[in-house]
Amino acid sequence: MAKPTFLAFDCGAESGRSIIGELDNGRLTLHETHRFPNAPVRVRGHLHWDVYRLFEELKTGYRKSLATLEHPPRSLGIDTWGVDFGLLAEGGELLGLPFAYRDTQTDGMVDRYLQTTPAEYVYSRTGIQFQPFNTLIQLHALRQRRYSALDRASSLLFMPDILSYFFTGVLATEYSFATTSQLYNPITRTWDQDLLATVGLKPTFCQRILPTGTPLGTLSTDVADDLSSPAIPLIAVATHDTGSAVAAVPAEGSDWGYISSGTWSLMGIETDAPVLSRTALEANFTNEGGIDGTIRFLSNIMGLWLIQECRRRWSAQREYSYEELMALATTGLPFRSLVDPDWPGFYHPADMPEAIKEYCRRTEQPEPESHAQVARCVFESLALKYRATLESLRSVTGKKIETLHIIGGGSRNRLLCQFTANATGIPILAGPAEATAIGNIMVQARALGHVDSLASMREVIRRSWAPPRYLPEEVPSWERAFEKFRILIQKRV
C-alpha cells in the first residue's frame, strides 16, 4: 500500500511554499516542491495582496507536487498569515484586492475606535490584544474613509478562505483564523454581533465557522481538470499559520512556552480556556484558537521583520544571507544600543536602519554605526523582549514555563536562539523550522484517521525531528542588560 502523503500550502507575508509530507512508520518526512516570493503590491497609494497571483503560485505548487508523486496526495490544506480579508459581492465575486495589514489606512485607528467603544468591553468579548492590523480595526478604517466596496459587499472572506474558495467553491472560515479577527467571541463561540454592529455590519457578513480539521470540500471540477488531478479533499487545517505552527511544537508535559519566530514573533502558552482578566488586557496579551479548541495565549512581538527590512534596505549595497547577518552580528559590541522591537516607528518605516538610529537618538543611546552593530542591536533586543514577555506570561497566568520552544524560520538563527537562552535563563529547544507546514500536514493526517490526537501528532513530530538545545550562558551580563532594557521600554518615545 502506498504511504500516505499530504500537501501543505503555507503562505507567509514574505514567501509561500508547497510542501509534501509523507507518513511512514510513525515518522514524517517533508519535501518542498515549490517556493515563491510574496509581497503586497501598491495600487493607488494602498498596499494590497494579489490573491490571483497567489492562487496561480499554489496551482504551480500542486502541479510540481503531482509530478514527484506516484499517487496524488490524500488531501491538501492551506494556511496564511492572519487578519487580512477580501470582500465578496452577492454573486461571489471579489470586490477588488484585499488590503495588506501594513497599509497606512489603519494608522491611528485603534485610538479612534476606542473613542466610541471601551477597550475593556472589546477585550471581555474577544480576548484579542489591540493592534492596528486587527480585522475589526481594518473594517473601522474602511468605514471611516467611506470605502464604497464595503457597502456593496455581501460577505467577508479571510485570506485562506479566499484561496480555499478558489480551489473548492465552498465558503467557510476555520476556527483558529476566526479567533484572530477581534470579531469572534470565545465565550459564545461565534461571531460577536455587537462588535460587528460597531462597524455597521450584520452577523451574516461573516462565514460559518468550521472546527479545525474539518473537510471543507473537494477540488471543484474546473480546478481538478486544470490540474489534471482527481477531486481530492481540502481540509480546513489550522488556517492561521501560527495555529498550525503551535500544533507542531514537539513538547511534552505542561511547563513550556513557545515562540513562533518569523516576520512576527508570537510568544505564549497553550491553555484550555481564554484569559480575559484586566491584567491580561493591560499586558496586551491575546487569546487565539488552537487545535481541539485550545487557546494560544500569546503576545504579538515585532519579530524578524526588523532584520528583514534592514536586509532589504542594505541590498542596494550588498546582498546578505541570513547566515551572514548572524556572523556579522557576532562582531558587534554587546549591548551598545537596544531598541523596543514593538516601537510604532518600526511598523512600516521607509528606512528600517534609519528608524533604529532614530529610536536610539530619542532614547539617548549611541547610534549603531555599522551593519554589524545594527544586526547585533536587533538580535539582542529581540531576546530581551522575549525575557520581558516571559515575565509577563508568568505573572498573568501563574504558569512556571521552564522551557521555551522556538519554532519556525527563526529557529534556524542559532545566535538568536542562544541570546534567548541567555536572556531568559531557561533552556531553548529550537525547531522544527517548517513547523507551520508540519502542523498543517499533521492536522490533515488526523482528519483522515492516520493519527488520533494532538498528543499523538506531537509524538510523531518528536520522533521525526530532534531539536537542538541551547542552555543559558553569560547570565550576569544579560541580567544587567535586561535592567537597562526594562527601563528603556517603559519610556514614552
Instruction: Kindly state whether residues 72 and 143 are assigned to the same domain.
Output: yes
Instruction: Kindly state whether residues 269 and 236 are assigned to the same domain.
Output: no
Virtual torsion, Cα 391, 397, 402, 407, nearest 10 deg: -80
DSSP three-state, residue 178: helix
Q: What is the pLDDT of residue 2?
A: 78
Instruction: Kindly state whether residues 229 and 308 are assigned to the same domain.
Output: no
Query: Considering its fold, how many domains does the chain have in total?
Result: 2
Domain boundary among 241, 261, 287: 241
Q: What is the pLDDT of residue 173?
A: 98
Residue 200, C-alpha cell as written in the block: 455597521
Instruction: Kindly state whether residues 199 and 291 are assigned to the same domain.
Output: no
Instruction: Kindly state whether residues 184 and 313 are assigned to the same domain.
Output: no
Catalytic residue, candidates 241, 272, 342, 452: 241
In a domain, 445, yes or no: no
Q: What is the pLDDT of residue 493?
A: 82
Q: Catalytic annotation on 194?
A: no
Domain boundary among 241, 269, 286: 241
Instruction: Kindly state whether residues 259 and 117 are assigned to the same domain.
Output: no
Give the CATH number, domain containing residue 55. Answer: 3.30.420.40
In a domain, 446, yes or no: no
Tell me the pTM.
0.94
The C-alpha cell 476566526 sits at 178
Q: What is the pLDDT of residue 452?
A: 94
Instruction: Kindly state whether residues 140 and 162 are assigned to the same domain.
Output: yes
pLDDT digit string (tens) for the chain, length 493 residues: 679 999 999 999 889 999 999 999 999 999 999 999 999 999 999 999 999 999 999 999 999 999 999 999 999 999 999 999 999 999 999 999 999 999 999 999 999 999 999 999 999 999 999 999 999 999 999 999 999 999 999 999 999 999 999 999 999 999 999 999 999 999 999 999 999 999 999 989 999 999 999 999 999 999 999 999 999 999 999 999 999 999 999 998 889 999 999 999 999 999 999 999 999 999 999 999 999 989 999 999 999 999 999 999 999 999 999 999 999 999 999 999 999 999 999 999 999 999 999 999 999 999 999 999 999 999 999 999 999 999 999 999 999 999 999 999 999 999 999 999 999 999 999 999 999 999 999 999 999 999 999 999 999 999 999 999 999 999 999 999 999 999 999 887 8
Instruction: Kindly state whether residues 163 and 255 are assigned to the same domain.
Output: no
In a domain, 442, yes or no: no
In a domain, 104, yes or no: yes
Domain boundary among 218, 241, 264: 241
Instruction: Kindly state whether residues 264 and 233 are assigned to the same domain.
Output: no
Residue 451 is classified by DSSP as -
Instruction: Kindly state whether residues 231 and 261 are assigned to the same domain.
Output: no
166: amino acid identity, one letter: F
The secondary structure of 201-251, three-state, reads CCHHHCCCEECCCEEEEECCHHHHHHHCCCCCEEEECCCEHHHHHHHCCCC
Instruction: Kindly state whether residues 115 and 209 are assigned to the same domain.
Output: yes
Q: Which of 281, 8, 2 is nearest to 125 (CA)?
A: 281
Count CA atoms closer than 13 A to 387's CA, side-chain side.
Answer: 30
Q: Range of 41's domain?
A: 5-241
In a domain, 368, yes or no: yes
What phi, psi does 362 have (nearest 5°)? -65, -25
Q: What is the pLDDT of residue 293?
A: 87
Q: What is the pLDDT of residue 1?
A: 61
In a domain, 439, yes or no: no
Instruction: Kindly state whether residues 219 and 282 are assigned to the same domain.
Output: no
In a domain, 441, yes or no: no
In a domain, 23, yes or no: yes
